[in-house]
Structures are given as C-alpha cells and as structure tokens.
Chain A
C-alpha cells in the first residue's frame, strides 16, 4: 500500500516550512539578537591598530651640541607560518640585515607566529626590504638611539636598551622627560591587507619627548676625558675621575670617568665601565679633606692664624700611631703651613682644638654624608659615622680625610664652596628641558646655603694658594695664573673592613683658579697611580685640565691673593 500523494505533499510542505522556519529563526538570531556582536567581530577582523612610537628627546650640551639623539628605524620580524621558502627569504635578507643565512633560517622555521630578525634597522635597509615584498616578513616602526660623539661623557649620558627605555645615566634619570607619549593609528583593511579607502582611518599623533640640556661643555669634556685617559695610561692607574665645575653656579662643565665605554656599543663593554664614578662611588678623600678642618678652625677661631704649633712627625692617638709621610724634627707650623705642607699631625692637632662635634657639623655643612641632589640616578651619600660613634681616633683620621668617604662630586663641591666665598650651591648637571615649542624650560634655581663666612673662605683660599706656590701642590702651577688647591694621597680600605690595602693609594688634586677671582674648579683623581702621591700623579692632570678650561672658557688672570701667615721659609 502506498500513501496517498496528498499526504506526502503535506509532509513535504511541513518539512519545508520547518526548514524555512529554522532558517528564519537563525537569520533573526544572526541579524537581530547577535547582530551587534557579529558586526563588532567582523570590524575587529578588518581593523588594525598600530602603535606610533614617540620620538625620544635629544640630550644636548650647554651650547646645543647634540650628545644623544634618535633617528627613525625599523624592527624586522617574521611570521614563520607564512614563509614558504625560508632559505630563499633568508638569502635575500641576509646582506640587508647583516645576519647569517643559517641564523635567519633558524629563526624563520621556529615555532610561533612572531620572531624578530633584526632590531633598529636604518630606514635605507628597511625600505629595500619592503620593496622585496617577502611573504611573512614585516616591519615595525621604531627609532635608533645614537651617541654621535661616541664615548664622550658616556657615563653621564648613559644609554637605552633595545626597547628604547633608558637604562643608566641621564637616559634613565630623565626617562619620563625624554620618552614622550606614543600615539596610535587605526586602519580598516581589506582581505589583501590594503587600507579600505572609505573605511576607518584614525590617528592619535605621538608626542615627541622633550630634549634635555645638560651643563656639560662638549669640547671641555673631550679635553678632560683625553687628559684623564693619558694620565691613567702614563701612571698605569686602574682608573680615574675628573670634574670641572663653575663655582658660582655649581654647573658641572665636564665629568669624566676612566675606564670609559662607547654607548653606541655598550653591550661590548664591561658593565663596571658604565658607572659614573664621580657621583656613584665614594672614596676616602685623604688630605683634600684638610680644607674642611682648616675652614672649621678659622671660622670657629680655634687657632689664631699667626700662632705656631710644634708639630712632631708621629703622634699616638688611641691604639694607633699617626705620622706624617716623612720623618722630621718637631717643626713650628702655622695653620697655613699645615695645609700647604699637608701635615697629618698638624691637622690632628688643629682638629683636637676644633672638637669632634664642631668638625662633624662642618663636614655636614659642606655637604658630606648626604647626596648632593644633582639629579643623577644612583648618587651615593658617602659615609660619615654618626657623632655618637666618634672617638679620638675617628676625630684624628677625619681631620686628614681617612675613615670617612665622599664622592668626587661632593669633594669638588667643597672646594667650589670655598671658591664661591663660602656659599655652597647644589651641583647641577641639567640646565633645563626643551619642549615641542622649542623654548628652554630652565631647571629650578639650585638651592644654596652659607657654610663659612666670605672672610674664612678667602683665608682658606690663601692657604690653598700657598700649597700650590710652595707646598705639596707645586706641580699644579700654571704660568700667569695663581692656582689654589690641595693634594690628597689616601689609603684605600679593604672591602671587608679589616683595614687598608698595603701600598695602594688614591691620588688626588682639587683646586681652582684664578685664586683671586675663581672661575673654575677642577678635581683630578687617580686610582692607584704609579707615582702614588697626589702632588706627583694628580697635580699634573689637574694642570692639563685647567689649561684646557682656561683656553675654552677664556679665563683671564686675576689679582694675586697674599700668602697666609706662615712660619716655614718660602722657596
């Protein structure tokens, strides 16, 4: 028996009605209830947003010379899933990227959908890669940081990592200022990856970073660095530091550390060379610290300037015997003689009259024991024991600069204070920033404070001039100019606190000129030089740098200051 045809038609109709009904329901679901969600998904598939990197700001010297700048570049990447012939692609790219074919093939056959082939490629090479139109190879816009003067002021400038973020130095310290704000561009793309003309095309422009204007003078920095390098080589020293400062403004004109490195290829240099020792490393200043002892004694009238002390060559202090460098019969010395001849025993006798509390106060007033606030990352405070831990030995060694630690910047700041009529001014490495409008936004006025009276500062200057004219610093003399300065030959503490390294010294000379109207302060410090003494190793370095400063800054001689009261014969 077969069904009647009408029944089959009805069944077929019902089936079709159900099918159309299902389709209709599905259409309603897709086009009504899920319409927005599906539309958004489709939109997301068509629309691409890329980051637009902000141009990183430049770092300039005080005269506008560029010390660091960024140029446009591209990162080259591959999507291994889209590369059909890795060997052919690698052969085409290898000469443009400077990467070996096997390495490129290895990268192009790796797992995943993204791998960098090269970073920070110049625009010339990346344009040629774009013209190759290799499937699976893409470019991402970025920028390349360049340091046009190579190792010049490298520890001050620092460098940026591959992601363009500052890692050391001013690049790190001023990261927020230099970086700017990235933008983004949104395009609607067709199936082939081409932009749809009438589609979405939105752009939020990046805001370039501000430029940082340093206080560094590029030419003087080069001279200081070259002189330091020469001195380190001649002396077989482990390294050294030079700082040049304007005493009136406390602006750092040059700051060099040796060994140095080229920030364009920082990855090839030992990380120890990255340190800006002038700011981050504290050392025992030795006899250069006697200037604070003398200033405290003069300011507090602890010893009449013309009075003579009988200075032996050894003296028991606590459990130790302190001595001058060479045996001598007891000598009649004024305070000026003690500074000029750098007598340890004399300094101890003076400090004893000043007293521990007062000396500690003057150390703090001159800025020792706390960071200067120069605005450089990782600045050291230096080390000064709390007053309640002082004993006779600490007082004695502090008088001649052992048992305390200071950074070279702190010490140059001490001498800058004397040169600036007794006013301490916070050291400055950055003059200001230049924003998009091109105008200089000057840094805040540096804090300043009076440390000693102008009269005291002038008397200390006379003593320092005496030290150069007829004391331990004669190698710092410059024809036509009166130099005021002080030598230092400091022992180096062992790392474990067990005492001092045998026969190893930090030699230093810190001074300023012209003594009668100081225009520049120079610190010259050498780590373990062959000739040991500050007067022999560091004073000639001071002289070289000071001569460069005279020529560069056009410094004229000034009236000579008279020598201080002295008991020792001159000449």
Chain B
C-alpha cells in the first residue's frame, strides 16, 4: 500500500511537471504567434508593398481610366467609351480664370 501511494505521488508529480511544461510551451507559442501576426501585418502594409514595387520599377499610370462593359447596368450608355472624355479629365476645361474667388 505504501508502495502504491508512493507511485501515485510520483505519477502526480510527473503529470504536474508535464502540465507546467505544456503551459510554458503554450505561452511561448502564443508569443511566437503574436510576433508572426505582427510580422504579417508589417509585410502586408500597403506602404511597404508600394515601396517594394517602386524599387522594382513599377508605378501607377499617370491617367487612370476605368472602363465598364457595355450593358453592365452601370448607367453608362451601351458602347460608351469613358476614355473619350479624357480631355476633360486633363482639366483643360478648367482655366485659371475659373478658380474660386478669394474673399
């Protein structure tokens, strides 16, 4: 009986140590996870991606045009090509004289 009690105590102590070790490991993995989350957020930040793209020679076009398929329910008449209005988009219809009056 004494032997049995000793064995049970030893097993309990071993289990306790294992639980403690598992808790420490869980804590460590949680910290690693948080660090990875931070790294993922840093790497996916648009500023970083934009800077990387610039370093590799990519850049935004000077004049962005958005095209819509005819009959797509967009409100544009079928067959209309929005890019034909690019002249307006360049601001040529807005001479300096059209500026808002300083008051």
Give complex CA distance A517, B74 in Å.
11
What residues of A have a CB within 8 angstroms of the CB of B64 in the complex? Answer: 547, 551
Give A548-563 interface residues, CB cut-off 8 Å to B: 550-551, 556-560
Of the candidates B38, B45, B82, B98, the one whose C-beta lies within 8 Å of that of A152 is B45
Known: A474-B91, A539-B94. Is A65-B44 also a contact (CB below 8 A)? yes
The contact of A557 among B35, B74, B98, by CB within 8 Å, is B74
Give CA–CA (A502, B61) in the complex, Å: 38
Looking at the complex, which one of B37, B82, B86, B102 makes contact with A489 (CB distance below 8 Å)? B102
* A148-162, CB < 8 A from B: 148-152
**Is B5 on the interface with A (CB-CB < 8 A)?**
no
Question: Interface code A451-477, partner B: CB below 8 Å = 1, 0 otherwise?
Answer: 000000000000000000011111101
B100 pairs with A489, CB closer than 8 A: yes
CB-based contact B100/A342 at 8 Å: yes
Task: Tell me which residues from 256 to 300 in chain A have a Cβ below 8 Å from any Cβ of chain B.
Answer: 286-287
Complex contact A402–B103 (CB within 8 A): yes
Provide the A171-204 mask, 1 if CB < 8 A to any CB of B, else 0. Answer: 0000000000000000000000000000000000
B window 4-31: CB within 8 A of A: 31
Chain A contact residues: over half helix, strand or loop, or mixed? mixed
Question: Is A72 a contact of B34 with CB atoms below 8 Å?
Answer: yes
Chain A residues with Cβ below 8 Å from B80 are 480
- Contact at A287–B100, with CB atoms within 8 Å? yes
Minimum CB–CB distance for A436 against chain B, Å = 14
Using Cβ atoms and an 8 Å threshold, which residues of chain B touch A401? Answer: 103
Q: Flag whether B79 is at the interface (Cβ < 8 A).
A: no
A69 lies within 8 A of chain B by Cβ: yes
A326 touches B34 (CB 8 A): no
A interface bracket (residues with beta carbon within 8 Å of B):
35 or more
28 of the cross-chain contacts (CB-CB < 8 Å) are A69-B37, A70-B34, A71-B31, A72-B34, A149-B46, A149-B47, A150-B47, A222-B46, A344-B101, A400-B103, A401-B103, A472-B99, A472-B100, A474-B98, A477-B88, A479-B83, A480-B80, A480-B82, A481-B66, A487-B99, A488-B100, A533-B96, A556-B73, A557-B74, A557-B76, A558-B74, A559-B75, A560-B75
Determine the chain A residues whose CB is within 8 A of the CB of B65 once the complex forms: 479-480
Question: Which B residues touch A471, using CB under 8 A?
Answer: 98
- B44: nearest chain-A partner, CB-CB: A65
Chain A residue contacts of B35, Cβ below 8 A = 71, 123
Alpha-carbon distance A152/B42, docked complex (angstroms): 11
Residues 56-92 of chain A, each 1 if its beta carbon lies under 8 Å from chain B, else 0:
0000000001100111100000000000000000000
A53 in contact (CB, < 8 A): no
**B58 sits at the interface (CB 8 A):** no
Tell me if B1 counts as interface (CB < 8 A to partner A).
Answer: no
Measured CB to CB, the nearest residue on chain B to A55 is B34
* Nearest 6 Cβ contacts at the A-B interface: A325-B101, A480-B82, A533-B99, A474-B94, A148-B41, A222-B46
Residue of A nearest to B85 (CB): A479
Q: Which of A198-248 contact B (CB under 8 A)?
A: 218-219, 222-223, 226
B94 touching A475, Cβ below 8 Å: yes
Known contacts A152-B45, A401-B103, A547-B66; 20 further A-B pairs (Cβ under 8 A):
A65-B41, A66-B38, A148-B38, A148-B41, A218-B46, A223-B46, A323-B101, A472-B98, A479-B65, A479-B82, A480-B68, A481-B66, A491-B102, A532-B99, A533-B100, A533-B102, A535-B98, A557-B76, A558-B74, A558-B75
A524 to chain B, nearest CB (A): 13
> Once the chains are docked, how many angstroms separate the CA of A323 from the CA of B68?
44
> Looking at the complex, which one of A151, A343, A536 makes contact with B47 (CB distance below 8 Å)?
A151
Inter-chain contact A479/B100, CB cutoff 8 Å: no
- Look across to chain B and name the residue whose beta carbon is closest to the beta carbon of A402: B103
Residue of B nearest to A151 (CB): B47
Which chain B positions have C-beta within 8 A of A539?
A: 91, 94
Q: Does B93 contact A (CB under 8 A)?
A: yes
**A493 CB → nearest B CB, Å:** 12
Cβ of A146 < 8 Å from any Cβ of B?
Answer: yes
Residue in A closest to B32 when the chains form the complex, CB atoms? A123
The answer to whether B34 touches A69, judged by C-beta atoms less than 8 angstroms apart, is yes
CB 8 Å contact bits of A126-148 with B (1 = contact, 0 = none): 00000000000000000000101
* A376 close to chain B: CB less than 8 A: no
* Cα-based distance from A66 to B38 in the complex (angstroms): 8
A490 vs B85: C-alpha distance when bound (angstroms): 31
- In the docked arrangement, what's the CA distance between A397 and B103, Å? 9
